[in-house]
Structure formats: structure tokens, C-alpha cells
Amino acid sequence: MSIERIAVVGTGANGASIAADLVRAGFDVTLIEQWPANVDAMRERGLTVVMPNRTEVTEVNVLHLCEVAEVKTKFDLVLILVKAYDTRWAAELIKPILSPEAIVVGLQNGMTVDDLEDVLGPDQAMGAVIEVCSNMFEPGVAHRETAPEESWFALGGLSSTSSARAEEVATILRHSGSVQVYQDIRSAKWMKLVANAAELVPSAILNMPLFEAVSDIKMRSFMEANAKEALAVCIAAGSHIVPIFGLTEVNEDPDTYAVVLLDEVLKRFSFPGTLTTVLQDWRKGRRAEIHEINGMVVREGKRLEILTPANSVTLKFAQAIEAGDLAASPENLPQMLENLISS
């Protein structure tokens, strides 16, 4: 089966920039978006993607969520880029407009393959790891710090049927970055979650750009502790240490490799002003993917009887921030460390 019609569900910074790449490559792409102002801006002025060495404005076909019920034709490939906690309803939304052999790819943080598999079945679901650094604070304008030539993706099916389609999907996605196909996509997603557990939420709690947060030696140690716990849980859950981010080798010592993954994010996909997606969400007044990242580590740790004190502290402070009981601030670090010591 050939892929003729593509939909991108969730066109914030990452979704918009990837969709623009595919449109410019000549594919038939429909953007599906839930932010009304973003839909209006893209319809009126096109989609602007600002990169370090160029700015591209692309005319796009964009629908609001409420217009999906009006779609008559079917999609052969759907890329989902909504927040991880919105995966299940997004999969249900597009289920009626999938062609019989369509593939749906979750290009998100967290273990969203489980929700996709539950809703769509393993033959139509495909897991992915995404490493694109971008932000969107103005409707219709995505700021992408890692251009396609610097972005990286992993893809992998959940059954023999979907696995056989992975290279086909990878050929399309390579218009937006380098792509590696994995037989064990769950393990690859766990590796990304290890890195995310270290950097996304902990640095956001301090209300700092990632580079600024990690420059504090004590904070760096705390971030590494989050990563090490996450990898320990990953292994206990039955997944394996695998190379990601284009690495060709792995260090078999889990604690060492956990730090390597954090280092790779800092070296290749972070810049002096980079705000993690969690901090971007909080500054927009939105909830973030805290339960899908550090919360996942804590939940699985409890199930497997593995202690996760650093991730538990991270989750505790993040929950307080989202509840409005605490402000994200550098002043949180001493209290976080005290909580870790006493845990």
C-alpha cells in the first residue's frame, strides 16, 4: 500500500515544523490543531518556521478539531504530536478517518505506544522517539532550534505487520530529520524517557533554561540521579539498553549510560536559551507531561519495588507547581535536595 494522504494531529512547535517539512517535500498533508488562534494564523499567513540559518513560510491545509467530523476521505499515515496525556483521545478522534491499512505514529515523549496500541491495535500503531528542539509562543510561528539536518527520530512497529511498514514511514519522515528504525521501539522510548526524566521536569522546577540549571553542580547531580533511577526501572520492566540519538555503542553499566544519555541531550539538542517543553507549558499556564515522565518512573518503580527517591521528589515539586501551591523558582533547589536526603 502506498501512503498518499498524511495528517499531523497536534501542530504546536514540533508538529507544525514537521508538517511544514512534509508539505515542502510535496506530500499531501493536513494539519489538525486544537488552538483556534493557531489555526486562524496558519490559514491567514501560512506557517512560519524560524530556524537558526533560515526562515520558511509554508502554505498549509489546516483543520480545527471540530472540523475533523466533516472529513470524508481517509488518511494513510497519521503523525500524532499532541501532549502525551492527550494521546488516547487523539487516537480515538482520528480512528474513523483512517484508511484500512493506515499507520499511526506517536511522535511524543513518554510511553504513548501503550495508548495507541490499546485504541488502534498493534498492526496500525507505531512507536517513535523524537528529538527536535523547538517552541511556539506566537500562533502560526514555530521557532525550531534544530533544523531537519540536526533533528533525529526513531521508529518501530508493535507487530510484524506494523514493523514491516517502518522503513516506508521512515522514508517520509527523513524529510524532517535523520531516522533510525528499531525492532525494539519500547526500549528506545525508555532510553528517551531516561533522558527526559533527568532534564525536562527538574530544570523546569527551577524556572531556568536547561543550560543554566545544569551548570549548578548540585542540580546536575540531582538530574543524574533521576536518570539513573529511570534506567534501573526500565531494565526491571523488561526493556533493554539500546543506543539512541545516533549513538552506535552503549555502555553496559546502567548508571554510566544514564549519564551518557543526559550528556547527549545537552550536547546535541540543547542551546543556551533552550526552555524544556515542561517549562514552556508552565509559562503558558498549561499542565505538562509530569505524570508521563517522572510520574511513570515512580509508578513503575512502586510496581517493581524499586526505590525512586529523586523522581519522587521531582514529581512532588512539579505537582505542587501545577496545583498553584508553589512557584517554579531557583529557590526550590535547596528544598528539593533536603527532601531527597530525608527520603
Q: Could you tell me the pLDDT band of residue 251, with boundaries at 50, 70 and 90?
A: confident
Residue 164 φ then ψ, to 5°: -65, -20
Q: How high is the pLDDT of residue 273?
A: 85
Residues 85-99: what's their mean pLDDT? 97
| Domain edge (last residue) among 133, 167, 183 | 183
DSSP 291: T
Could you tell me if 138 and 200 lie in one domain?
A: no
| Domain edge (last residue) among 150, 183, 216 | 183
Could you tell me if 64 and 91 lie in one domain?
A: yes
CA neighbours within 13 Å on the CB side: how many for 244? Answer: 36
CB distance 133 to 178 below 8 Å:
no
Task: Assess whether pLDDT exceeds 70 at residue 1.
Answer: no
Could you tell me if 148 and 198 lie in one domain?
A: no
CB distance 59 to 86 below 8 Å:
no
Could you tell me if 166 and 59 lie in one domain?
A: yes
Residues 220-247: what's their mean pLDDT? 96
Helix, strand counts (H, E) of the chain? 14, 12
| Domain edge (last residue) among 163, 183, 203 | 183
Could you tell me if 11 and 158 lie in one domain?
A: yes
The pTM is what? 0.95
Q: Which residues contact 29 (CB under 8 A, 6 or more apart)?
A: 6, 7, 8, 19, 22, 23, 60, 61
- For residue range 23-81, what is the model confidence (pLDDT) as tens digits? 999 999 999 999 999 999 999 999 999 999 999 999 999 999 999 999 999 999 999 99
DSSP 145: S
Q: Could you tell me the pLDDT band of residue 247, with boundaries at 50, 70 and 90?
A: confident
**pLDDT above 90 as % of the chain:** 94
Question: Cα separations (Å) of 260 from 61, 195, 220, 267, 296?
Answer: 40, 9, 13, 10, 21
Could you tell me if 88 and 177 lie in one domain?
A: yes
What is the residue range of 221's domain?
187-342
Residues 139-164: what's their mean pLDDT? 97
- For residue range 292-324, what is the model confidence (pLDDT) as tens digits? 999 999 999 999 999 999 999 999 999 999 999
CB distance 166 to 155 below 8 Å:
yes
CATH of the domain at 233: 1.10.1040.10
Could you tell me if 111 and 260 lie in one domain?
A: no
Could you tell me if 137 and 258 lie in one domain?
A: no
Could you tell me if 17 and 72 lie in one domain?
A: yes
